[in-house]
Every structure is written in structure tokens, then in C-alpha cells.
Chain A
Amino acid sequence: MITKPKDKISTIQATLAISATIIGVGILTLPRTAGKAVGTPDIWLAVLLGGLIVLVFGYIVAKLSQRFPDKTFFEYSLDITGKSIGYLINIFIVVYFTLLAAYEARILAELIRTYLLSRTPIEVIITIFISVGVYLVVGGINPLVRIFEFFFPIVVFLFLFTMFIGLSIFELENLRPVLGQGIMPVLKGVQATALSYLGFEIMLIFTSFMEKPKDAVKATFIGISLTIVCYLITVVVAIGGLTVKEAQSLTWPTAAVAAEGEIPGAFLERFEVFFTIMWTLAIFTTYAIAHYISGLGLGQIFKRNINPFIYGLVPVIYIIAMAPQNLNTVFQLGDILSYMAILTSGIIPTTLLLIAMIRGIGNEKKKF
């Protein structure tokens, strides 16, 4: 029985896991979704504000998990709320991560269909993607975070490189006026931008794997901050290069920045293909984590070895990924996910932390 794996991860690994999870498909559409929500060039402010709000919830998630340093969320939720409600919450979280995994797989397939392999059936792409993912996920948490350590610098480097290319079409005037229509559009957009940070809730589970759970808050903060920086760079370059209105009308605005940019004098062209290849890595990390957590959740709910559940989830994820009829339904799935994220990373952790504090369950601060 591996309901409670002994594997431990370092603080850096936990930090990277958070960044790698948040940075997934959200960034591809961020200039469009945020552009629609804000409507003025102040999107970057909304992204920043959204990030700061998410830091608060990140703190709550980390604090909650720190009270139970040797238990995952699926175990301590039962301690806090009792079995019946606890199981309900656990199942909700498992459903959430399963949907997330399916969503990531589908978006990746759509992206590849658009930019790389237009005639390859997406069924094949999704199958290959999930197969590779399963191979990694059954290895447990350590191979998983090691892959993150390995991928993360590559993704960051390539990301910065494509953004650098995007700078060739950058015009500061497209980002002005700042707050031309006051602060209201920004505030209206904050909800959308805050939701683009979904993924940090993995700390509900990952804290228990940390060698030093007391570093959980630090890891969460750094992990989220890294993402805020990436997001800011993305929207500044995308809106500066494309203008708000154009970004609103493009399916994959971030890829369009890469597509339109060019290195003057260089013979290389078509950077969006390059961008897509690189983004496969980023989406893969998010997918793998989501798959792992839903497997782990099922294992801990049923108190069984998690591997059969991970294999069992494969067809489920595949079917959900293939379910949306068209791109709009896929994006709707994304919207549903972000609403679920309000619960999983906002309301549920906050409520549980309050209950735990009132009932005095779990470790009070120092102890570890």
C-alpha cells in the first residue's frame, strides 16, 4: 500500500512545481481573456492585482497544509470536517484535477492541430500525450518533480526568447493611456486574471511531501511570484505588440506575438511553431501533476495503491478531453474549471482553515 509515499521533495522542487503547474494553458489565452475582461490597455495592472490576491489565497493554502505536515489534503479534510463532508470535498477535488488534466491535454492537441500537425487526428495526439504522461506519473512524486526541475529552465529560457522576439513589434503607445478610464475596468478584470493563476492549490497536497513543511509558505510565495512575473511579461509584450482590440480577436494571442515577431536580419521565421513545441513542455507539467493528484486522491479516498487508479483515470481523461465538440466548448470547459477553482483554491481552504483554527485541530505554528 502506497497511500502515503515516503518520498520527499525539497523546497526548490516544491516552488518549481507550483510555477510549472500554474504556467500551462492559461498563458496562451491570457491576453485575450484578460483583454476582454478589462477592455483597456491596463491589463497588466489587473494581472498584477490578480496575482497579489492569489498570493493571499496561496498563504491560506500553505498555512492550512502546514497544520498537517504529514498528511495530504485528502486525509486531513476528513479530520477537519468529519467523514461524510470530507469525502464529498475530496471527490470534488479529484473531479477538478481530472477535468484539469483533460483540459490541458485537449488544449495542447488543439494548439498542435493549429500550428504543427493540421491533419493528424487529435485523438492520436491526446493518446500519445496521455501515454507519456502516465509513464511519468506512475513513477511517483520524485520523478515528477525532477522532470519539473529539468523542464523549468528550458521553458523559462524559451519563453523569454519568444517574448524577446515579440519585442520587435512592441509599441509602448499601445499600452497607453494608463488608467485612461479610471480604475474600474481594472477591478472588473481582476476576477478573470486571478482565475488565470489556478494551479497553486497543489500545495494542499505537496506540502506533505516537503522535507521541510515549514517552508511551504515561502515556496508558495516564490512559486506564485515567478508566475506573476511571467504573466506580466506576457501581457505587456502581447498588448504592446498586438493592441488590446487585436488581442481580443485572436484565438491564441500569445502565439500570435511569436508569429508576428521577427529577428531583424535573421533568416529564421515562423517562431510560433517553435513556441508551440516549447509550450508542449509547459502544458505537460501541468497535465502530469493534475493526473497524479487525481490518482493520489482516489487512492487515498479508497485507501488503496494509487497506480491502478492512475491507469484507471486514463480512459476517463481521454473521454473528457475528447468530449468538447469544438473550440468554444473547450474554452467553456476552461471557464467551468476556473469557477471550480474558486472553490478548490479559495473557499474550501479558507473554510477548512477557519474550522481547524476554531476546533484547534492540527499543529499550531511552531512544533516542527
Chain B
Amino acid sequence: MKRKNSKNKLLIIISLFMITSILPGCWDRVEIEELGIVVGMAIDLTEPEKSALRKNLETREKERPKHHRITLTQQFIIPRALIQGGGQNQGGGGQKPYSNIESEGDTILAVARQYASQSSRVTHYRHLKVIVLSEEVARLFNIKNLLNVFLRDPEIERDVKIMISEGKAFKALDVAPKKEQIPAFKLNQLVDNMRRSARIAPEVTIADMSKRLVAKSSFIVQRVIPHKDEVKLAGAAVISGKTRKMIGWLGEEEVDGINWLTGQTRGGVVEAVDEKTDEYIVYDIQSVTSKIIPEVKDGKISFTIEINSEGAIGEDWLIPGNAFKNEFLIRAKQAIKREVRNIVDDALNKTQKQFKVDVIGCGKQLSIKYPQVWQQVKDNWDEYFSKIPVNVQIKINIRTFGRRGTKR
């Protein structure tokens, strides 16, 4: 009996050892100070001279497919500099809290992994916030291929924001912001803050992009403009659902118009001009909704877009501009309507007639209401859409005019 007991004890001890060796899960352990945390990425085409220099080093060049070389810029956080910078705000001379590492190659993953040979740190993508594509890259490559690696990697979130830069993309990650210390965070913040503005295209995540690309629908992506020491979000890039490449830019006003058409305007103002006096009346937008109504008559497709907006008179340059009188409000309403119509028409013209794409989702509504018709036109939808009449109806409701109704 006693022997059996001690045998059992021995068994327990052995199994305890075995269990403790597997339970801690050390395989995937990485010490936090060994992490190289990537928060932003920019993808550019490699400059020809540079890539020629590179090519001489490569031995197997002939066997590889012809491919444009990509320069990938990864933005790493330097936590120590971040802490120091926070402590002595006006230091100035201190180290930047981030570093941008550039590497180049044919495929994104291979380029990203190159970094491993340059650094002792383990790259960590769980905090990746933004990806900036340069205009060149977006025009040249099928965006599906560019996105592929980000959608595959389980380390990268599906809601990483994506934008397209005017000029070189790495510059957008190299503008040292004043308040937020890290450019990628600054971009991320800009998107969040700018939701209020009527002139900013809605944010696009890699997941959104993927959904639109597989659905073959055209869409717009925020444009980022790097200046000397400022970075700005303005306008948008138009991506064709057919070629899956960027085909052109929309200016701020055109994006404004697209936002009205899709009902995605969350705020902002309209500078309307009163016809009689040629003076400004400024409309403060509170809400915009839109409804796209497809119609098929005798095999002919047409769309009616009903835009409904509510808001307030925020400013006017008329004398006396008496908002207590209804005539004034009616005049204002007409002026605002006229202005909105101009904005909307411009946007529609540019996208529908010039670029020949449907970025406002008319196709989606057609597919819902007339699925049979949609089956026939869906393969060449953008082409069809460019010839379809779109009738826009605008309704403006001025709900209030603030604390003071007249200047008299």
C-alpha cells in the first residue's frame, strides 16, 4: 500500500513537470522592448535610378517576372523618444519619436521582411493605423493585388485606414506634426476629426475597399496632400470598379457634391449667393439624407435622387437680412438650393460624364429594385451608367436662424 502511494506521488510530480513545460505558452512570447511597432505604411514606386542601382546587385534578375519595384516605408514608434518628448515639451533638439524605414523590392511582404535583416527588433503590425498609397502606385497596379497582403495577414486589423497621396506617399508619413507626435497617428486623427466637414470623402478601411473591389463597384478614397510641414486631407481619388485602378482626382467641391448625393454629409456649410443682392448667405448643415430611386420604363433605366437637408442660417451679408420674415427665408432657401445644385451637378458631371463611373451607389439600388435588369447591365455597369439620366431633387429646410434674426 505504502509503495503504491509513493509511486503515485512520483507520477504526480512527473506529470506536473510535463504540464508546466507546456502551459506557459512561451512559443509566441515576445518581450515588449523587442518589438518594432509599425503604425503607418506608405507604398511608392521606386525611383528608376535607385532601382537600376539595385538591379546590378541581383543575380537572378532574368528569371524573375518583369515587375515595377516598390518602395515601402514603414513608420516605427520609438517609445523612449516619445516619453522624453512628452516630458520636456520645448526640448526641440531631442530625437524624433518615430523613424521611417524605407526598403524596396518587388512584393510588399518581401520588402517588409527585409527590415528583419536590418533590425534587431521584431516587427509588430497589430497597431498599424494607416496605409498611404502614392498616386503612381494606385494608377499602375490593380489595387486588389496591393491590398492582398494586408487582408491575408491576421496580424493586421481589417479596419486599417487607407488613403491615396498626391505625389510621393512617404512624404505623408514624414511631416512632423506639432501636437500629435507621430505622423501616422496624426493622419488617423485627421480622418476622425474631419468627419464633420462636408468636403472630406468618407473614410475607407482596407475591409471597405476589399468589399467594393470584389463587388466591382467604383468608389472614392480620401486624398492626402503632404505640404512642407503640414499634411492635409482634401479631395479624393476615384477608383474604377472595372480596372481596379485609380483613374483620377476629385477636388474638394466635387467630393462635397458626392457627399450630398450619397447623404454622407455630416456637417459643414454652404456659401449660397442671394440672387438679388449678390451677397452671401451661409447655410449651416445639420443633416443630409439622400435616397436613390431607380426606375425602369420600357427597358430604359433612369434615376431620381432625392436629397433632403435640414439646417440653419449661420451668417448672412444682406442688409437688413431679416430672418423674422418668411420671404427672406424663402429667398435664402432658393439661393442655397441653387448652390447645392451647382455643387451636385459638378460632381455628377465629373464622375458620370468625364470619368464614366458610378461612385454614388446607383448600381446597388438598381440591383435591389430591379434585380433582373441588373443582371443584364452589371458587367458593364459604369459604361451604361454614363448614359443614364439622373434627376436630382433637392429639398432644403431651414429650421432655425440662431440667436439673432435681423441686423436691424
Contact = CB atoms under 8 A, between A and B. Distances in A.
Contacts of B369: 177
A79 interface: no
Instruction: Sort A-B residue pairs by CB-CB distance and give the 6 closest, nearest first.
Output: A180-B371, A120-B27, A245-B214, A260-B158, A176-B368, A117-B28
Contact of A181 (B126, B207, B215, B375): B375
Of A177, A181, A242, A272, the most chain B CB neighbours within 10 A belong to A177
Given A177-B368, A246-B211, A260-B207, A270 B157 contact: yes
A242 B367 CA distance: 17
A256 interface: yes
Contact of A260 (B126, B159, B374): B159
Contacts of B25: 117, 120
A115 B153 CA distance: 10
B159 A262 contact: yes
Interface in A254-282: 256, 259-260, 262, 269-270, 272
Nearest to A249: B214
A177 B22 contact: no
A127 B19 CA distance: 12
B27 A243 contact: no
Interface in A120-168: 120-121, 124, 127-128
A172 to B, nearest CB: 10
A367 B155 CA distance: 60
15 contacts: A118-B28, A118-B155, A119-B27, A124-B27, A127-B22, A169-B207, A177-B367, A177-B369, A180-B368, A180-B372, A243-B215, A246-B214, A260-B159, A260-B205, A272-B154
A116 B126 CA distance: 12
A124 B28 contact: no
A249 B210 CA distance: 10
Contacts of B371: 177, 180-181
Contacts of A256: 158, 207
Of B27, B126, B375, the most chain A CB neighbours within 10 A belong to B27
Of A117, A127, A169, A246, the most chain B CB neighbours within 10 A belong to A246
A277 B381 CA distance: 43
Interface in A87-131: 114-121, 124, 127-128
Contact of B22 (A128, A246, A249): A128
Interface in B80-110: none
A128 B21 CA distance: 12
Interface of B: 22, 25, 27-28, 126, 154-155, 157-159, 205, 207, 210-211, 214-215, 364, 367-369, 371-372, 374-375
B12 to A, nearest CB: 14
Interface in A7-23: none
B157 A269 contact: yes
Contacts of B375: 181
Interface string A310-354: 000000000000000000000000000000000000000000000
Contacts, number: 60
A120 B368 contact: no
B158 A259 contact: yes
Nearest to A116: B28
B145 to A, nearest CB: 14
Of B210, B211, B214, the most chain A CB neighbours within 10 A belong to B211
Contacts of B207: 169, 246, 256, 260
Interface string A265-304: 0000110100000000000000000000000000000000
Nearest to B369: A177
A120 B214 contact: no
A269 B159 CA distance: 10
Contacts of B372: 180
A245 B22 contact: no
A118 B25 CA distance: 11
Contacts of A272: 154
A132 to B, nearest CB: 11
A237 to B, nearest CB: 15
Nearest to B154: A114
A96 B206 CA distance: 41
Nearest to B158: A260
A262 B205 CA distance: 13
A127 B23 CA distance: 12
B367 A180 contact: yes
B75 to A, nearest CB: 19
B27 A117 contact: yes
Given A177-B368, A181-B375, A260-B158, A242 B28 contact: no
B22 A124 contact: yes
Contacts of A124: 22, 27
A302 B214 CA distance: 55
A177 B365 CA distance: 9
A243 B214 contact: yes
B368 A173 contact: yes
Given A181-B375, A256-B158, A246 B126 contact: no
Nearest to A258: B158
Of B28, B126, B371, the most chain A CB neighbours within 10 A belong to B371
Contacts of A181: 371, 375
Contacts of B27: 117, 119-121, 124
Nearest to A252: B154
A246 B154 contact: no
Nearest to B364: A173
Of B126, B158, B210, B215, the most chain A CB neighbours within 10 A belong to B158
Contacts of B155: 118
A120 to B, nearest CB: 4
A1 B375 CA distance: 66
A200 to B, nearest CB: 32
Contacts of A177: 367-369, 371
Contacts of A121: 27
A151 B155 CA distance: 28
Nearest to A255: B154
A269 B158 CA distance: 11
B28 A119 contact: yes
